[in-house]
């Protein structure tokens, strides 16, 4: 029986993982940056320009978004530490997307490196 760790290890062997030092350029070159974390994670802070599509809904949302139908899109995905992003990148490759990258170390590595993070402000009720 395979574990989640086994699945992530196999996924990382299949996908193109972009080192953190190259992530800025990969994002600039991308047509879309997708944050595959859960809603609460995204809301607590995300990479500027990221679109939120949780890992569990990725295939369904992309299948129903005509603007993302082209399999030539340059896609960068990330999650908290890179496991879910690797699984997402594999799923996208299986769907026929030809240029998918994930960010090594994910959001945690991005934030720890002091890179920009969008943190939505809650409205004041005072």
Reading the chain (126 residues) residue by residue, the pLDDT tens digits are: 999 999 999 999 999 999 999 999 999 999 999 999 999 999 999 999 999 999 999 999 999 999 999 999 999 999 999 999 999 999 999 999 999 999 999 999 999 999 999 997 767 777
SS3 content of the chain, % helix, strand, coil (to 5): 45, 15, 35
76 in a structural domain: yes
User: Domain residues for 63?
Assistant: 2-105
15 in a structural domain: yes
SS3 62: helix
85 in a structural domain: yes
Helices and strands (H, E) in the chain, number of each type: 6, 5
69 in a structural domain: yes
Enter the pTM of the model. 0.92
51 in a structural domain: yes
Structure tokens at 126: 């005072």
113 in a structural domain: no
96 in a structural domain: yes
Number of domains present in the structure of the chain? 1
Strands 51-52, 16-18: pairing is unpaired
77 in a structural domain: yes
Of 11, 53, 79, 91, which is the active-site residue?
Answer: 79
d(CA 82, CA 108): 9
CATH no. for residue 75?
A: 3.40.250.10
Give the pLDDT of residue 120. 78
C-beta neighbour count of 7 within 10 angstroms: 14
User: Residue 51: beta bridge partners?
Assistant: 34
Side-chain-side CA neighbours of residue 97 (13 Å)? 26
Is 90 in the active site?
A: no
d(CA 96, CA 58): 14
Do the Cβ atoms of 93 and 13 come closer than 8 Å? Answer: no
């Amino acid at each position: 029986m395979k574990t989640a760790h086994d699945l992530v290890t196999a996924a990382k062997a299949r996908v193109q993982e972009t080192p953190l030092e190259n992530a800025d350029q990969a994002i600039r070159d991308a047509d879309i940056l997708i944050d595959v974390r859960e809603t609460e994670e995204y809301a607590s802070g995300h990479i500027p320009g990221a679109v939120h599509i949780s890992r569990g809904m990725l295939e369904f949302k992309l299948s129903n978004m005509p603007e993302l139908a082209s399999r030539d899109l340059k896609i960068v995905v990330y999650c908290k530490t890179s496991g879910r992003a690797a699984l997402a990148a594999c799923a996208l490759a299986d769907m026929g997307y030809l240029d998918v990258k994930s960010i090594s170390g994910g959001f945690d590595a991005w934030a720890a490196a002091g890179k920009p993070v969008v943190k939505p402000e809650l409205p004041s009720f005072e």
